[in-house]
Amino acid sequence: MRDLLNGFIQIISEQNSLLEQIVKLSEDKRQAIVLGQVQELDSMVHKEGLLGQELEKLESARFVLQVEIADKLGMPVTELNAGEIRRLTSEQYPQLSTRLNEHLTNLEKLIGKLRSSIQENNELLKMSLDYIDEMYYLLSPEDDPGVYSDKGTADVPGKRLQLIDKKA
């Protein structure tokens, strides 16, 4: 059981390492989004995909270990969550408990940071796309360009303003 728990801790540690890289990449992506560096952003998305694949492999390996631990304990794997593994380790293997707690706590923090970073990046991307859409609309009017009064309002009520007056 000790070997299984050590393997479990090692996998969590490796997952944390990959998540740190993904969080750093997400922060770098934010900078690329703000600066409009599309090629750099594309490269980062590709790298992020590769890191995600590695994370999936580690997650599969972690699950296999979790199944083995559950079998040794004679319980269904669905009932063996991180809290239960923490409790078991604390009671039966106190020398491993500190290390496990550190790695699981770090994992929770990294997931929170990544979730927050992804949300911020999504909001920035949405604002960028809204800006591009607005600029496109202003620079490429629909079939009927706007005509404005001498007060600068659209002559046709409900019509969006255009950058260039039809009369120009």
Q: Which of 112, 64, 72 is nearest to 89 (CA)?
A: 72
Q: Which of 109, 106, 112, 114 is nearest to 27 (CA)?
A: 114
Q: In terms of pTM, does the model score above 0.85?
A: no
Q: Assess contact for 70 and 80: CB atoms under 8 A.
A: yes
Note the pLDDT tens digit of each residue in 49-63.
999 999 999 999 999
In a domain, 64, yes or no: yes
In a domain, 165, yes or no: no
In a domain, 145, yes or no: no
Q: Give the pLDDT band (50/70/90) at residue 139.
A: confident
Q: Is the confidence at residue 35, as pLDDT, over 50?
A: yes
Neighbours of 143 (CB within 10 A): 4
Domain residue limits at 91: 2-139
In a domain, 155, yes or no: no
In a domain, 153, yes or no: no
Number of domain units in the chain: 1
Beta bridge partner(s), residue 148: 154
Q: What is the CATH number of the domain that holds 78?
A: 1.20.58
